Amino acid sequence: MALAGPGTRGRALRWPRVLLFGDSITEYSFQENGWGANLADRLVRKCDVLNRGISGYNTRWAKLILPRLITESTSAESIVAITIFFGANDSALKELNPKQHVPLEEYALNLKSMIQYLKSVDITEDRIILITPPPLQESAWEKACLAKGDKLNRCNATTGEYAQACVQVARDCGTDVLDLWTLMQKNQDFSSYLSDGLHLSPKGNNFLAAQLWSRLENKVSTLPSLLPYWRDVDHTNPEASLL
């Protein structure tokens, strides 16, 4: 049997999208039990969850590539939510990691610049979620650094300053924010949330997924399931249900 011709096809199916933009903590989020994979599973048949995490990147570099990832003409209208999750690299200590370090004031300005760009392509504030860096477990991260022949190049207090700046940017710009740095430390021993002192463990991924879903759910709750449930397809005339 021939496929339906061009004249009989329904309109193209367009999946809405949730875009995850960040550093390695985002890049790794589609690994087994990752927070991004968790979101993709929750949203299957409602929207695509796109991983645009780039390991090692900071806001200085992210600001430059964001317009290459999202353009008004090709993609902005289909984005129902976007997370911006940077700071773990920006907050690296300048004297020990000058390549990734971004000064605190510039970090805040870079976040604002990215929000302003998104607004310029009609992605409104209510679709943007900033995520602060998680807390740093210094002894575990120091072991990871020493294994590479490096000194401890981050500290939790400094990471906290960047987290506070991220929260303030969200307040100033009217976006949502997930203050991971603060939330994870409500449990005094937050080390179980981290695999190496910096990146997330399975428990940390689950924690982030749950916290993010509470902020994302209202942005996607009205999205319908795409294509009818199989029992609802008219098997005697599937074209009536599917085209």
Identify the active-site residue in 23, 24, 29, 78.
24
Residues near 26 by beta carbon (within 8 Å), at least 6 away in sequence = 20, 36, 51, 52, 53, 54, 83, 85
Identify the active-site residue in 23, 29, 90, 199.
199
* Dihedral sign computed on CA atoms, order 205, 207, 210, 211: negative
Is 122 part of the annotated catalytic residue set?
Answer: no
Is 172 part of the annotated catalytic residue set?
Answer: no
Q: How far apart are the first and last CA of the chain?
A: 17
* Dihedral sign computed on CA atoms, order 67, 69, 74, 75: negative
What's the rounded Cα separation, in Å, for the pair 78 and 72? 10
Is 24 part of the annotated catalytic residue set?
Answer: yes
Identify the active-site residue in 75, 179, 191, 196.
196
Which residues are identified as catalytic?
24, 196, 199
